[in-house]
Structure 1
Amino acid sequence: MGVDYYNVLKVPKTASDDDLKKSYRKLAMKWHPDKHPPSNKKDAEAKFKQISEAYEVLSDPQKRAIYDQYGEEGLKGQVPPPGAQQGGYSNGGPTGTFRFNPRNAEDIFAEFFGGSPFGGMGGISGIGSRSGRGNFGDGMFGGFGTTENVFRSFGNDAQSSGPRKAPPVENKLQCTLEELYTGSTRKMKISRNIADPSGKTMPVEEILTIEVKPGWKKGTKITFPEKGNEQPNVVPADLVFVIDERPHDVFKRDGNDLIMTQKVSLAEALTGCTVNLTTLDGRILNIPITEVITPNYEKVVPKEGMPIAKESGKRGNLRIKFETKFPTRLSTEQKQGIKRILGGAG
C-alpha cells in the first residue's frame, strides 16, 4: 500500500476534517525545516513534505477515496482506478490511469496558516517560498490571517527564523593539582531528558568523557554541544564543564609557576640547608640552598613548574619561599657566642 498517510498524520482511518486539521497544524509546526538546526534540517524537510502530502490527500474526499481503495500506488498511477478525471490528476492514457502529483509543501503550509509564520523560507532545499491564502486559515484560527497573529497564537517571535537555543548549563569540574600537572581522563555521568518524534520526553543517562590536558588552568571550559534537556521548539543547551582547582597541601599555583614555602631554622637560614620535596608527578628533588636566606629570599628552580598547555614540552618554574623559625629564648652563653660570631659580619 506504500506510504500510510493515516500513520503519517497520526490519525485513525475514521478521522474527520477537524481531526486532520488539528493533526496537520501540530505536526507541520513541529517539523517545519525552519524550526530545526542545520544538522537536522534535511530530516525535518523530508518529514515536513510527507506530512503535507498526507494532509493534501486525506483532506480531499476524492483523493482520499482512491487512496483508501488503491493506496499510494493507485494515486500515483501504478493502478488504474475507475472514475472521472478530477483536479490534481492527469489522464495517463487510454487505460484511464490517473496520476496524483503532490503540491508544493510550502504552498499547503502557507494556505493553511494564511501566510508563513516564519517570515520567509529562504535556504530550504526543494521547498518553495510562495505564499497564498486558501480555505483553511480563517476556519482553523478564527480569522487569524496575518503573520503576526499566527505567531501570537503559537507563542513565537515574529522576527525569529527558527527555535531559540537554551542558555548553556555550567558545572564545576574539580581537579587536583596532580591531575592538572600530568593530565587525566574523567568520566562524568549525566541525566537529561530527550524527546521522541512525538514530542514526549523521557529521562536518559549518559557517560561523558573529558580529557583533562596537562597545564589546563582554573576557568578552562569544556563544552558538550546540545547535551541539555530536550523540549519542544527549543534547541537543547550546551553542557559546559569549568575546571576548578582543589587546594594542595604543598604547592600553590601562580600562572605556570608552582610556589611552595619551606620552613627553616635560624641556623639553616644562616648556614645553608637542603630542601627535599616530592614533585606532582612523584619524583624526588633534593635542592641545596647555599645562600644566606634573607627575609625576601626566594629560590627559583627552572622548568619544575606546571606544564604550559599551549607550548608542548615547556614548563614554568618552581619558586621556593622560606619561613625562618626564630628561637623563643636564648641563654646568656648563646647570646654571647652569636655576638662573637656575627659581630664582624656585615
Structure 2
Amino acid sequence: MANKNFYDILNVRKDASPDEIKRAFRNLAKQYHPDKNPAPDAKEKFAQLKEAHDVLSNPTKRHEYDEAKRRGYNYSSDDNTSMPNTEHFRDFFEHLFPGFADDFTRSGTHERFSENMRKSNSNSFRAREQSKEQNSSRNVEYDRTGFRFGPSKRKPDWTQNSSFCSSFDSDDEPNISTKRCRSEPSKNSNTTSSGSSLPKDAAIEKHLEVTLEDISTGNLRKLKIKRKIFDERGNYTVEEKLIEITIKPGWKAGTKVTFPGLGDKHPGREPADITFIIKDKQHALFSRDSDNNLLHTANVSLKKALLGVSYCIQGLNGKRHDINIRDIVHPGYIKRYTGEGLPLPKTPSKSGDLIVTFNIQFPSYLSWDQRRVLSDCLPN
C-alpha cells in the first residue's frame, strides 16, 4: 500500500492514541466487512483498513512508518521495509554529500538505481548485524544498497502466518465475536441476519391452528415457548419465553411467522429460528377456499328439495341469513351472498362471498305404497 496515508484511511489524527486508532478501526471494520457490506469495493476497503490498523497499532511499525513518510520514502507493510522514493533520492544524497546530484545524474546511476529499486521492491530482504560500538548492541536494518534505515526489532511475518485473522463485534449480537481467517474460511456455516458466521440449524416449523373467527376479525395470540440452553459439558437449563403473534384479518392458511434465534442454544452454534405456519382450525359450519370465500353445506331432505326450502344460517359476524327457495333444489344447487365471506388479505376492507351449497338427502327406504304414489306423481 505504497504512498497511501494510513491516518487518512482510518480517519484519525497523526497524534491519535492507540485507543483512538483501535476504536476507529472497529467502527470502520463493521461498516466495510465483506460479510456485512455487499459493495464491490468493500473487500478492498476492508483490506486497507486492516493494513493501516496493523501498522499504526504497533508502536515499532508506526515509528518506522512515520519516519519513512517524513523522509519521503515509500512504506510497504508486506515486508516491513521502508524504501526511498527515487523521486527524492537525489535530494537525500545531496544533503549528505554536496555535489552528489550532478555526478549522480551524469553517470546514469539514477536510472540504474531506479531499476534496482523496482526489482528489490518485489524481492527485498533483511540483513541483521550486531554492532559493538560504544559498548552497546542493537539490531539494524539494511537494504541492498547497504544504507542503514534505522533500528528495528524482529517481528512476525504476518504474510506467512496461517492464523492471521480479523475480528470485530456484531452490532446485533454484542456478545458474539466474529472471526475470519485468510487461510481458514469457515466451514459448514451460514451467515445470519445478525452478521455472525457461526453455523446455524434449519428453522423449526410448527403449525398454529387459528379459528375462522380470528381470520375474520383478527386477534392477538400469546404463546409460551421453552428452549434448552446447553453449556460446554452438555448440561442445560430450560428457558421460557412469552411471545405474541398478531393475527391479521384475512391471513391465508400457510402464512408463516418467524421468530429468529429462539431454538435450543448450543455452544459455537447460532440458535435456530422458529417458524409458525398458520393452519385453519376445523369449524362446525364453515370452511374457506383460496379466495377467502366462506363455504357452507346445507343438507335438505328430498321432500324439501322438491316442495320448497326454508333455511337459516348465521355468519361469522353474527349476521343472520334466511334462505327461502320455492324452486326445486337440485344436487349442487348454490346460493351466493356477495361480500359476506372473509376479508381479503391484501385489501381487508373487502371480503369474499358466502357460498351455500345444497346437499340433497335421499331416503334410504321406500315402501311399495310410497313408490306407487311417487310413480303416479312424478314425471317419467
Question: Which structure has the higher relative contact order (CA within 8 Å, separation 6+)?
Answer: 1
Per the alignment, residue 161 of structure 2 pairs with: 114
**Cα pair 1:201 1:231 within 8 Å, conserved:** no
After TM superposition, give the deviation of residue 178 of structure 1 in Å: 2.2
Residue in structure 1 matching 2:256, options 212, 221, 242: 221
Per the alignment, residue 283 of structure 2 pairs with: 248
Q: 1:202 to 1:123 in 2, by over 3 A?
A: closer
1:269-304 CA distance string (max 9 Å, x none) = 123222211222333221222432112321112112
Structure-to-structure mapping, 1:332-343, within 5 angstroms: 332=369, 338=374, 342-343=378-379
After TM superposition, give the deviation of residue 257 of structure 1 in Å: 1.4
1:159-211 CA distance string (max 9 Å, x none) = 98822232111111112222222222111101124589xx9964321100011
Unpaired runs of at least 5, structure 1: 1-31, 39-55, 57-106, 126-145
Per the alignment, residue 230 of structure 1 pairs with: 265
Query: Which range moves more in the overlay, 323-332 or 166-175?
Result: 323-332
**Cα pair 1:114 1:147 within 8 Å, conserved:** no
Give the whole-Å Cα distance in 2 for the aligned partners of 1:262 and 1:124: 60
Per the alignment, residue 118 of structure 2 pairs with: none
Per the alignment, residue 189 of structure 1 pairs with: 224
**Cα pair 1:117 1:158 within 8 Å, conserved:** no
Which residue identity is paired with 1:319?
Answer: I
Q: 1:230 to 1:326 in 2, by over 3 A?
A: closer
Structure-to-structure mapping, 1:1-346, within 5 angstroms: 114-116=161-163, 148=183, 151=184, 156-157=186-187, 162-193=197-228, 202-255=237-290, 256-327=292-363, 328-329=365-366, 332=369, 338=374, 342-343=378-379
Give the whole-Å Cα distance in 1 for the aligned partners of 2:289 and 2:190: 46
**Cα pair 2:229 2:264 within 8 Å, conserved:** yes
Give the whole-Å Cα distance in 2 for the aligned partners of 1:182 and 1:160: 39
TM-score by length of 2: 0.47
Give 1 or 2 for the bigger CA radius of gyration.
2
**Cα pair 1:192 1:205 within 8 Å, conserved:** yes
Report how many aligned residue pairs link the two structures: 218
Which residue identity is paired with 2:264?
Answer: N
After TM superposition, give the deviation of residue 250 of structure 1 in Å: 1.5
Give the whole-Å Cα distance in 2 for the aligned partners of 1:159 and 1:211: 32
**Cα pair 2:228 2:238 within 8 Å, conserved:** yes
Give the whole-Å Cα distance in 1 for the aligned partners of 2:190 and 2:377: 85
Q: 1:236 to 1:124 in 2, by over 3 A?
A: closer
SS at match of 2:298: strand
Q: Percent identity?
A: 32
**Cα pair 2:208 2:276 within 8 Å, conserved:** yes
Q: 1:223 to 1:337 in 2, by over 3 A?
A: same
Give the whole-Å Cα distance in 1 for the aligned partners of 2:238 and 2:168: 35
TM-score by length of 1: 0.51
SS at match of 2:216: helix
1:8-30 CA distance string (max 9 Å, x none) = xxxxxxxxxxxxxxxxxxxxxxx
Q: 1:159 to 1:193 in 2, by over 3 A?
A: closer
Unpaired runs of at least 5, structure 2: 1-28, 37-57, 59-154, 172-180, 192-196
Which residue identity is paired with 1:278?
Answer: Q
After TM superposition, give the deviation of residue 335 of structure 1 in Å: 5.6
